Homo-oligomer: A and B are copies of this chain.
């Protein structure tokens, strides 16, 4: 059975380790971390290592570390000639692993937080490799973990990462603002939950362009001005103003 070492103990590592442990065809043999103690979610039978030089031999090493640590850790790793090493970063070029013979990328396109369960098999895995043989191996491995495995080069992957920043990070920030506006006015912000769910659910049926509603796409200047007046003294004025203008521009271009 294919043996895997996961390097790092953050959110990506957490969900990936759990997914590997749940499959029957892949074997997690070790996790490397800087913390003294093994993460709680690891079962006792999995070895935990804090010294890169003593890391176990494996078929696949998966780096789940922050982008700026990838090269440093890769350079310190002495792995078997036949082993594969991959990182899991959206915007880091594959070539930062080129010290090794077989290398690539497995980028999970999802927002992962440790205290939120997720069905790993639904996460698109974006893969890249330095040879066809390695790519085929990664595709086989990833197909065990996920229903959706996609090839992409490093440039495309960065574009996918940027689009994910908009679809998740910035979208979620809009929800932070929305809830903050209600909380600071003593209005129950859970009121927004059905709207937030429907915003996502709609896109399983409509394109985001067809799903767009509200004052900006209607070019309803009376409401827009009313909202801007109320936001005038807040840090959200500029964001409201900018995004509204962009949506109106978009409408004018249709």
Contacts and interface: CB of A to CB of B under 8 A. Distances in A.
Contact of A243 (B66, B173, B178, B203): B173
Contact of A178 (B148, B166, B175, B192): B166
A227 B163 contact: no
Interface in A20-64: none
A174 B181 contact: no
Interface string A161-203: 1111111111111111111011001011101111111111111
Nearest to A249: B235
A98 interface: no
Contact of A210 (B113, B158, B197, B203): B113
Provide the main secondary structure of the chain A interface: helix
Interface string A227-254: 1001100011011101100110010000
A165 B214 CA distance: 7
Interface string A48-89: 000000000000000000111000000000000000000000
B200 A185 contact: no
A204 to B, nearest CB: 7
A159 interface: yes
A158 B191 contact: no
A162 B91 CA distance: 34
A178 B164 contact: yes
Given A91-B223, A91-B226, A159-B182, 7 more contacts: A111-B213, A163-B189, A166-B236, A167-B174, A168-B214, A173-B216, A197-B204
11 contacts: A11-B213, A113-B206, A113-B213, A124-B191, A165-B215, A167-B178, A171-B171, A172-B211, A173-B250, A193-B203, A197-B200
Interface of A: 11, 66-68, 90-91, 109-113, 115-118, 122-124, 148, 150, 152, 156, 158-179, 181-182, 185, 187-189, 191-218, 220, 222-223, 226-227, 230-231, 235-236, 238-240, 242-243, 246-247, 250
